[in-house]
């Protein structure tokens, strides 16, 4: 069975400069194609994960730059205990993300790293920044802003 490495799209494969809107793309990160090719040559499946909604536009961008992958936002392997994939988080042997913190324990240094990674880095934040929503009965209620129901975000 091939092993899986999950790689974030924005900021790892795609040069991300802050949210410009769905379907807006920049160039690839330097070395992204070559790095992914090396990972795949070692026998790993590459799963791309992203918060983007327009997966077809993302696929077109990846094809344009000849970046090979085995799946986007999907489970590439079934869980061994029951053959199903009941979770949102895809099963992988490693996760590569520009907003990740390598975790070993809950010491002050780790907490400082988490808080540093969470700080806004761009003038144009994610579409959910500053949005106060509540999820009730599978519906989003937001008096100030319309959010597609498919997003199902709740900020606390």
Which region among 52-66, 102-116, 134-148 has the lowest average model confidence (pLDDT)?
134-148
Structure token pair of residue 123: 């003038």
Residue 71 has what pLDDT? 92
Q: Is residue 152 scored above 90 in pLDDT?
A: no
49 and 76 in contact (C-beta within 8 Å)? no
> Is this structure's pTM higher than 0.95?
no
Q: How confident is the model at residue 118 (pLDDT cuts 50, 70, 90)?
A: confident
Pick the CATH number of 4-110 from 3.40.50.80, 3.40.50.1000, 3.30.565.10, 3.40.50.2300: 3.40.50.1000
Residue 101 has pLDDT above 50, yes or no: yes
**Mean pLDDT of the 5-25 span:** 89
| Residue, of 127 and 55, whose pLDDT is higher | 55
Do you know the residue count of the chain? 156
Query: pLDDT confidence of 117, banded at 50, 70, 90?
Result: confident
Helices (H), 42-155: 55-64, 108-118
Neighbours of 45 (CB within 10 A): 19
**Where exactly are the structural domains of the chain?**
4-110
């Amino acid at each position: 069975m091939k092993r899986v490495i999950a790689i974030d799209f924005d900021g790892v494969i795609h040069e991300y400069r802050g949210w410009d809107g769905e379907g807006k793309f920049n160039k690839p990160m330097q070395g992204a194609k070559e790095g992914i090719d090396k990972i795949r040559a070692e026998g790993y499946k590459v799963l791309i994960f992203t918060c983007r909604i327009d997966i077809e536009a993302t696929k077109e961008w990846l094809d344009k730059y000849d970046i090979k992958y085995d799946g986007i936002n999907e489970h590439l392997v079934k869980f061994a205990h029951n053959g199903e994939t009941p979770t949102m988080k895809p099963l992988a042997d490693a996760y590569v993300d520009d907003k990740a913190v390598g975790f070993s324990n809950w010491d002050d240094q780790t907490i400082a790293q988490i808080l540093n990674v969470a700080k806004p880095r761009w003038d144009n934040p994610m579409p959910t920044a500053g949005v106060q929503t509540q999820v009730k009965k599978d519906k989003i209620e937001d008096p100030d802003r319309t959010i597609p129901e498919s997003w199902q975000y709740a900020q606390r």
